[in-house]
Structure 1
Amino acid sequence: MTKILVIDDHPVVLQGCRRVLEDAGIENITLASNLIDGFRAYRNDKPDVIIIDLAIKKGVLVGLTFIRRLRVHDKHTPILVLTMHEDPMIASQSLRLGANGYILKDTSSVDIVKALQAVRQGRPFLSHTVASAIALMETKGRSNPLSGMTLRELQTLELIAQGKQYAAIAEELHVSYKTIANTCSQIKAKLGVKSLPELMRIAIDHLPEMAGQRTK
């Protein structure tokens, strides 16, 4: 019997997922409204598929944290992201971290079941609009040195382009100074630059293009 774990902080979404799954003949369904309960349910129930939102309890994409932590010790349990975020960079980041599917919350019940079946069988599944946006982003990004950056790296670059120093960036992103210093070191390594002025120049030159891709 297929076991499904659904993690979302909106009761309406949780109950809606339950109805969709039950209508598809799935009865073993566990619902969790936060990451702590989600991890506990995962350990106790060993679900066949995990369906998760990205923004839980007003956290900034904390669902990505769940995916990353789970993949440290579990490379196999399929993860299907069900979210309102259409941004292809967020979708791409989710897939890089280990999600097997990515669908939007306005997806039809039929396609939700199709997505669930696909990831359960080891096949990836993306909402059509998200798949198209990722393809367009990757095509345009081939000439953009920032196309391989993570969301945190892009956030950091945006603030560097504004002339902000590490301490101010750390405060704005609510992380430590050391985290920002390490992030900038990683960015420099990816771009093959050594100085902050070089980093600022690249950010100023190429971030507008990335922003244009994200809003299309």
Structure 2
Amino acid sequence: MSRILIADDHPMVRDALRSAVVYSCQASEILEADCLDAAIRLLEDKGDLDLVLLDLTMPGVSGLSGLLTLRGRFPATPVVVVSAHDDRRLVREAIECGASGFIPKSTPRDAIAGALRQVLQGEIYLPPQLAGAVEEESPEDEETADIVRRLATLTAQQMRVLEMLGTGKLNKEIAFELRITETTVKAHVSAILQKLKVYSRTQAVVIANRVMEKNRLVR
């Protein structure tokens, strides 16, 4: 019996995904969240779940940041991206960030059900029309993929610090919001610079935005 979390801010989409979950497997528990913070709270409360279905355009998510946050904080929980967009580069970068699959929202219920069964069996799912997307890569895509791989090495807390750096917050403001010391913030910033292979906070924000801006989707 599986425990599955559906994270999407649109009630009709959650209903459709719940129907696909019920149709595909005997889930013992189906949870729902309408923003990233709510999803994180449920994962913290319930422990490792069997699967998370994650939308990329709900509150608290900027491009692939939500996926990176969940993979960093809950590495044992598979995450499948469910998106209204099926851009091949986005699919490739989602897999690079650790997604266990990518399901376009236009996918029929039967196909979604089959995809969920495949992921719950430990496989990675890509729709047939996008199966070759992971192998395709232009020079620009290769550079972006390298940034994505570096971002994927950040811990969940480091991702949160990086996102706050992007909003212009000072160390003391970040420390207050995250309820940690300024010394800890400085340690996180140093680790971020090292992992992203940059030399300043500004450079870190610029290269992170390069990925996030490309993947900031409009519903």
| TM superposition score normalised by structure 2 | 0.63
Q: 1:87 to 1:123 in 2, by over 3 A?
A: same
Secondary structure, in 3 states, of the residue corresponding to 1:29?
strand
Equivalent in the alignment of 1:124 = 124
| Paired position in structure 2 for 1:36 | 37
The amino acid of 1:102's aligned partner reads F
Number of the residue aligned with 2:46: 45
Say which structure, 1 or 2, has more relative contact order (CA 8 Å, 6+ apart).
2
> Secondary structure in 1 aligned to 2:39?
helix
Q: CA deviation at 1:84?
A: 1.3
Tell me what 1:76 maps to: 76
Pick the aligned partner of 1:181 from 203, 207, 217: 203
Residue 16 in structure 1 maps to residue 20 in structure 2? no
Q: Work out the CA distance in 2 between the residues paired with 1:152 and 1:56.
A: 26
Deviations 1:81-127 (A, max 9, x none): 11012111111111111101001001111121121111212111001
Which residue identity is paired with 1:26? A
1:3 and 1:150 mapped to 2: Cα distance?
Answer: 34
Match of 2:59 in 1: 57
What pairs with 1:1-216 in structure 2 (closer than 5 Å)? Answer: 1-24=1-24, 25-46=26-47, 47-57=49-59, 60-61=62-63, 64-135=64-135, 137-138=136-137, 141=138, 144=139, 146-150=140-144, 179-182=201-204
SS in 2 for 1:132: coil
Secondary structure of 2:143's counterpart equals coil
Question: Using a 3 Å threshold, how does the CA distance of structure 1 residues 31 and 175 change in structure 2: closer, same or farther?
Answer: same
Decide whether the 8 Å contact of 1:79 with 1:119 is kept in 2: no
Residues 30-84 of structure 1 show CA distances to partners (whole Å, capped at 9, x for unaligned) of: 01000010101111223210001111139542xx222212222433211111101
Per-residue deviation, residues 173-200 of structure 1 (Å, max 9, x unmatched): x765x555346789xxxxxxxxxxxxxx
| Runs of 4+, deviation exceeding 4 Å | 151-154, 183-186
| 1:59–1:52 distance in 2 versus 1, CA, 3 Å | closer
**Which ranges in structure 1 are unaligned for 5 or more consecutive residues?**
155-173, 187-216
Q: For the residues of structure 1 that align with 2:141 and 2:119, how far apart are their CA atoms?
A: 27
Q: Across the two proteins, how many residue pairs are aligned to each other?
A: 160
Separation in 2 of the partners of 1:122 and 1:66?
21
Q: TM-score, normalised by structure 1?
A: 0.64
Partners of 1:185 and 1:11 in 2: CA distance: 34
Q: Output the CA distance in 2 between the equivalents of 1:184 and 1:36.
A: 25
